Structure 1
Amino acid sequence: MYIHDLSKQNSVLNTFISEIRSVSIQKDRMRFRRNIERIGEILGYEMSQVFNYTPSTIATPLGACSISELENDIVLCSILRAGVPLHNGLLNYFDKVENAFISAYRHHKDSTENFEIIVEYLACPNLEGKTLILADPMLATGQSMVATFEALKPYGTPKEIHLVSVIGAQEGVNFVEKHFNASAHLWIATIDETLNDKGYIVPGLGDAGDLAFGEKLQH
């Protein structure tokens, strides 16, 4: 797997990462969502540089202009609910893509910290021969990414696979690297070293879904 860790170079991305981590700034839900969206835009731009392009000629009011245009047939799939702002950021740059949505959540079988990933909802177009972008803002254990991809397999075999995350733990990065083929790409804004005993990224930022949309009742 090709791993693209954007934190290895300084850019304005650092500002957005700082703000979504900050316990004071992240309390502003609208700003939190917008920062995730802007991070998605940056990740989308970086990812676009490895896509395929076709020479084209367009007419301007003053003449003809030669330009290369994106030719990838893209399906953008996000994991609900935390993935919505990230999805919107990517969609801002890939406005002609098809879209897929999937729900995936942690189910604790007992009182321990062990859990399994449950997929309950899936809406997806045909993936055969297309470029699949699978977006989840938090790459903690990596199990959600893998479970989601397994659920997508009946919809066809993509030509290319690109995983997109905002913050990941090294353990999660290692996990997806083992479960996706060598030609897949991971685009990530920053990587933290550890997970706590509940499987959350440390230092991370907390629960991205709750920060974006409000706390949920636990059943």
Structure 2
Amino acid sequence: MIEGETIVTNEAGLSDFHALRSAITRRPQDLYLVAFDLLHLNGHDLRDMPLKDRREILQAVIPAGKHIQFSEDLPGTGEAVYHLACEAGLEGIVSKCLDSPYRSGSTMNWRKIKCYVEKEMEIIGVKRETGKPAMVLMAYKGLYMGGAFVTLKADKRQALWDRVQGKAGALPPKGLAKEKAEWLKPGLVGRVRFLKGEAKLRHAALKDFWQAQ
């Protein structure tokens, strides 16, 4: 029983999340499993062994040049590796304590830390549905980028809704008529934090907003 992550690489040899989604159904030959942990082998439970020992066994049983690849250790501090991953446009890093046993569920012995970026975009609409988190709909240079969750404090959130009320009533942008949203007149700008390396907003949150000058 191997733990890993399925990826598809781009021309630069980096994992490409968007290509992965299409390859699963259209190009399964392009899929690779990057293996980084081993839980069971030949009927033996390895989960109580330290991670470094489990990985030594894992590396020995994976054949070279196949569609299961061993995830090599990266040298340096976690902060430096995280910085390099974000600079390369990767989704993030996975890190594990070398002496830790394997335990299911939430634990501090392993972490998946994502790379984020912040950008100013135009707020073109809002979604406020009962029982669901509120979202703002964003555009960048005229291109629809998707939605970002509104995570502002109560007073700032109310100020946003006051601004929205004054700008409501715009027609839906082309191609978005089916979206259940309040569409806004131009002039409202927001700073959005979202997952780096994505063509559209993913894991996005609105951090601030203001009236365009």
How does the TM-score come out when normalised to structure 2?
0.22
How does the TM-score come out when normalised to structure 1?
0.21
Greater radius of gyration (CA): 2
Structure ranking higher in helix proportion:
1
